[in-house]
Amino acid sequence: MQENTLDQGQAAAVAARLQAVLDEAGRVIVGQQDMLEGLLLGLVADGHILLEGVPGLAKTLAVRTLAQTVAAGFQRIQFTPDLLPADIVGTTIYRRETGDFTVKKGPVFNSIILADEINRAPAKVQSALLEAMQERQVTIGEETFPLPDPFLVLATQNPIEQEGTYPLPEAQVDRFLLKLRVDYPDKAEERQILDRMGAGLPPAARPVVTPADIGEFRRTAEAVFVDEKIKTYILDLVFATRRPRDFGLDLEPLIAYGASPRATLALVRLARARALLRGRAFVVPEDVKAVGHGALRHRLILSYEAEARELDSDDLVTTLFENIDVP
């Protein structure tokens, strides 16, 4: 049995500080609470995030605002078909005066990176960024440089435009801890956007926590208690994507490949982070359900039959949660 080393008082204190980050971000971003909370969960759970949404939904502003609230270095990289790996990670430059080479670090050497329209860059560039995400280090020439801590990549994709794009391979998509779908604001929220952004300069977020605080939050999240029944519930959800018949589900014709073991780890890490954000020192099934779609939607590879029925991965994840027994 896992020992609970975190008490409610500690969890509540960290939750208050995390809520302050959300509140400060809310001064700048109207609505989009799910996106803001998802960004914060990724930061606390130490995982990269894939954002999918049409242009103009404040994805860039949200990421920049998050960086401002945690006083972290921020860099936006616009991915284009002519981008080179060296444009991201850096390169060596020959100095004629000294006759040697010096390293010029690229924009990836910041704590929070916005990889805008990552699917517009060719495979070599995508691979260079994803390797940095995985290894948390970059090799330039003969030297290896560690990336900052924290290091978080937020990559965006435009779901409606396919011309001139290079879709991410499934193995690379799987490296993202979370995939968030960003939708349009409702009419009341868009009126607030009109009033706020149409009257001079929009407000800027103030620093609320520091990068060192993020390390503390991560260590606290790792101490959040996960009961054995919750672990079994998570395993059942993941294994139901691979062998649905074992769980009485008729999903085999719809799922070509189920979720990888990364999905299991992602569900645990995100559920812990959400429990901490709610001020709890333990995970409940609702935490798993709340992060389930974000952790699983990009890890299911659907069959042609699912596409013919006009089903997407969210539909199948919903089916899993409706049919797998909750502890």
Report the CATH number at residue 137. 3.40.50.300
Residues 153 and 185: their CA atoms lie apart, in Å, by 24
The per-residue pLDDT for range 86-105, each reduced to its tens digit, is 888 888 887 777 778 788 88
Quote the percentage of the chain above a pLDDT of 90.
28
pLDDT of residue 103: 81
Band of the pLDDT at 119, cuts 50, 70, 90?
confident
Residue 203: predicted pLDDT: 74
Whether 66 is in a domain gets the answer yes
pLDDT band at 233 (very low <50, low <70, confident <90, very high): very high
- Please tell me what DSSP assigns to residue 192: H
Residue with more model confidence, 76 or 191 = 76
Residue 37 dihedral angles phi and psi, to the nearest 5°: -65, -40
pLDDT at residue 1 in the model: 39
If asked whether residues 197 and 241 sit together in one domain, one would say no
125 and 229 share one domain? no
What are the tens digits of pLDDT across the range 38-47?
999 999 999 9
Q: What is the pLDDT of residue 162?
A: 60
Instruction: Please report, rounded to a whole number, the percentage of residues in the chain having pLDDT higher than 70.
Output: 94
Rounding to the nearest 10 degrees, give the CA dihedral for residues 129, 314, 180, 153: -20
Name the most confidently modeled range: 50-64, 133-147, 160-174.
Answer: 133-147
149 in the same domain as 120: yes
Share the mean pLDDT of the chain: 85
What's residue 165's pLDDT?
66
**284 and 200, same structural domain?**
no
Q: How far apart are CA 266 and CA 248, in angstroms?
A: 25
Does the pLDDT value for residue 2 go beyond 50? Answer: no
Q: What is the pLDDT of residues 187-225, one digit of tens each?
A: 887 787 777 766 666 677 888 888 889 989 999 999 999
Structural domain including 65 reads: 29-205
CA separation for the pair 289, 163 (Å, rounded) = 35
Q: Output the pLDDT for position 194.
A: 74
The model's pTM = 0.88
In terms of Cα–Cα distance, which of 231, 210, 220, 208 is closest to 277? 220
64: number of Cβ within 10 Å: 19
Instruction: Give pLDDT, residue 41.
Output: 93
As a whole number, mean pLDDT of residues 159-172 equals 68
Residue 294 and residue 160 share a domain:
no
Tell me: pLDDT of 23 over 60.
Answer: yes
Q: Do 153 and 292 reside in the same domain of the chain?
A: no
Asked if residue 266 and residue 187 are part of one domain, the reply reads no
> Are residues 272 and 158 located together in one domain of the fold?
no
DSSP alpha helix (H) spans, 27-164: 33-45, 59-69, 86-89, 123-135
Residues 92 and 228 in one domain: no
189 lies in the same domain as 228: no
- Regarding whether 90 and 160 lie in a shared domain, the answer is yes
